[in-house]
Structure 1
Amino acid sequence: MSATSGFDPLALIDACYAAALDRERWSGALDGIADAVGARGAVIVSHDPARTAQTLASERIADVNLDYGVGGWWQHDSRIRLGRERGLMRPGTVTVDEMYITADEKRTDPFFQHFIDRHRLGNLCAYVGADPMDRHTLSFSAPRDLRKGPFEGAEIERLGLVGPHVIRAFRLTALVGDLRREVQGLASALEGMRAGTVVLDARGRVRLVSPAGERLAAGYLALRTGAVPTAAEPGEGARFDRFLSDVLPEQAWPLQERLLLRRRGGGRPLYVEALPLRGGDPLPEAGTGLGGGVILLLRDLLAPASRPIEPLLEQLGLTRAEARVAALVGRGAAPREVAEQLTVGESTVRSQLKAVYGKLAIRRQSELAVFITRLDSL
């Protein structure tokens, strides 16, 4: 490796793991590896029979990848068939064409004659890996242009070095996608419950607050990132502090997991429920510092049981902030009350309300109330 100039394996590996969190980066990461081994591009193929057509390729060979997957050529890939027949598809193996097919066989093989030659591809070097979760085989391949000769020893060694990381990062891409879909589902469920969340670390300090949590906590809780939350109503301070102490992870079992918290200045109470996060910090390297932690679930139990209309208003051209203001004002809240609930300036609310009137072609609050009432009745 030291004799190879311009090859930075750590940078290539880091690029793959960065792509695991941002799928848009995969093309650049694969192109970087292709350059390091003298290939036109690079592609990852799953050999699970249920999803063999699923691939991930660099932009340089996007047309090849499309023809391979959508065009159905993956079903006729003789390299895969021959590799299995000759025992070359074992995880951890690095292969080149010469290991399982001769030049004469290529000239008579339909896959090479009608697919490889048409795309002017030459030799191929591949790392065979196993999915860490289900153990199905995957391959990370780098095809050369037709005019280039066989892969050299240093190039094969490079691909074998980064190959295991490419396979792991590819699997992480799928896991991250699944996780994001689950989080979106949870967010939708919380929205349907009209609930907000506040994430606290093991010492009770605020780490994350959802937008709904910020909205619901206004007037009830003082929330500042890195600080322990406090009750906004002075008379509730001692009771909330005891509640928080009970639900922190140091306790063997919470003595009180839920609380009805009074609002500063009066009004209906806020329901607060604690969901302890047992165990260590799931992402210590990310600096979350949860160390177990607690999720506070906030709900306004006495709020009108109406379905959220903000998505409908957004479809009519309003921004998310404007839709929220329109819904609250249209249901009878004054701009000052909306500003306090959303913890923004009253001038901001009035400016957003002016934009709402313009986009909905209405002139006064009474017309907005009629409009929102009709949406609520849908």
Structure 2
Amino acid sequence: MRRVSEEIGLAVDHAACDPAAWDAVMAEIGRLLPGVWPVLQMVDAAAGTGLPLVQWGWDPAHIRAYEAHYGAVNPWISVILTTPTMVAMHSEERMPVSSLRRTEFYADWLSRLGGMTASSGIKLIDADGRLAVLNLQHDLARASRDHGRLAAVMGRIGPRMRRAIETNRACFPVSAALAPGETLLERVADPAFVVTRDLVTRDLRLVEASRAGRALIAEGEVLRVGALDRIQVRNPDLAAAMAREAALACGDAPSPGSPPGPMRIGGETWQVTAIGLRQDLRGVLGMARLLVPDQLALIVLRRVAASGGGGPERLAGFGLSPAEARLALLMDGSRSLVEAAASLGIRHETARSQLRQVFAKLGVSRQSELAVFILRLRQGA
């Protein structure tokens, strides 16, 4: 499992610097774990555009049906949202097929997957209006036999995938490839730092910084650079988070506990993300491969928008009218659009028109994304 995880991890590292490479990650999982159909679902309400499912081995017709309708009525959504991040999930333990047989999700979609009715999964991200879940679909017969093996792989690659997805968001907000001559640091809007670690003290030393990173250093309120390019972080929680993420990015075993969450520093909330920079990925930084240390990490400090207000109030903040907000709050995966329209006493055509406006204003493109958005909104995420 260590060898399989490392091979998948190398593909994940590449996807961190090239969002288009997630297809190759899914293909690598499918190749190394025969009999498994992997799918990566990412929902980002602030992205301004829908994020398609990334998958391997699936019938495109099944994926289109899921995106168009069945994802919104997937009973697993509530289970996923209440499960901690980085905890392996097994469908037969949490919600067995026998309990789903009378649902629309099973009768009209899951049962048509040719026996692939069980799954193992892991929630990678669930914060700041975003959700990322890796699901490994497989047949029911191997569910109990193989879950332990699949859980071990997901536990190893999960933190690496989380860091890669976070870096995608920071560096590639529109999922565009780098232009000729453009470097990764030039693309990063948030403060970003290429660092190396002192092999003895484990202190972080600055190699290169983005424009926003240099500005943050110049301000001197959050961090500064001292002698021998050593990074000095004023807030101890932020310093610990940066050290932990850099260690993970450089290949150290993860320390016990959950990944560092957003932290309040002064008047702003920050989130720390880091990825390791292999020799073959350093070209995107515009750096000479032979002139830099072996262990390098790219650390990004991302400002997290503050949340506030109740469901209707927050939806109004996105520009939704009262009628659109009422419809959106009903689209939590528990009912169809026809049922929501009947509950509101409006025509189905009117509900469809309002739903299109809701999609446009919230930056989602599918009912499944809207359902996740609404459920997170109710939980105050």
Bin for the TM-score computed over the shorter chain: 0.3 to 0.5
Larger-gyration structure (1/2):
1
Q: What TM-score comes out, normalization by structure 2 length?
A: 0.42
